[in-house]
């Protein structure tokens, strides 16, 4: 539904911090399903951990926040510009259920719970196949850069 070229137009993140490779489904103002291909070439695997590479949990949450940002911009019917930034504002009920390793495909899902005055609340989860890797409630804010 949205390839990497469209994602690059929506998100300001770039390598090595862009963590969404493709949007698989997008229901305007409701939900998104996206994909992150996890490869051994990711720079964080060099140190996390050399003998057993595992994707850091904070980066799984960042991937979910990036997918949520794509849903937010679509819900607003707007594209971000140089005068706007999308911030993490909070995380609740975070649970890590399964390690994510090189070769895994991380399926990112976010459901928009609330949207008011530039504040967005999402119910999110990431899966590898049918296995839950992480779940969290995320709060994000869109703000003008001053």
Residue 77 has pLDDT above 90, yes or no: no
Catalytic, out of 48, 98, 123, 125: 48
Domain at 82, CATH number: 3.10.129.10
Residue 145: predicted pLDDT? 85
User: What's the domain range around 31?
Assistant: 4-144
Tens of pLDDT along 82-134? 788 889 999 999 999 999 999 999 999 999 999 999 899 999 999 999 999 99
Residue 22: predicted pLDDT? 98
Establish whether 48 is a catalytic residue.
Answer: yes
- How many domains does the structure of the chain reveal? 1
Strands in 131-144's sheet, in edge-to-edge order, are 22-27, 31-37, 105-116, 119-128, 131-144, 84-96
How far from 67 is each of 50, 53, 115, 117, 143, CA to CA, in Å?
Answer: 28, 24, 16, 20, 18
Tens of pLDDT along 51-73? 999 999 999 999 999 999 999 99
């Amino acid at each position: 539904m949205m390839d990497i070229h469209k994602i690059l137009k929506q998100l300001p993140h770039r390598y090595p911090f862009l963590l969404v490779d493709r949007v698989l489904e997008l229901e305007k103002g409701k939900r998104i399903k996206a994909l992150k291909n996890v490869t051994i070439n990711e720079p964080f695997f060099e140190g996390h951990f050399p003998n057993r590479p595992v994707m850091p949990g904070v980066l799984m949450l960042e991937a979910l926040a990036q997918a949520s940002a794509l849903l937010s911009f679509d819900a607003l019917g707007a594209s971000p510009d140089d005068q706007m930034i999308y911030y993490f504002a909070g995380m609740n009920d975070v649970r890590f259920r399964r390690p994510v390793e090189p070769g895994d495909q991380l399926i990112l899902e976010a459901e928009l719970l609330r949207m008011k005055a530039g504040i967005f609340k999402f119910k999110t989860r990431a899966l590898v196949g049918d296995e839950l890797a992480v779940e969290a409630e995320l709060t994000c804010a869109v703000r003008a850069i001053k």
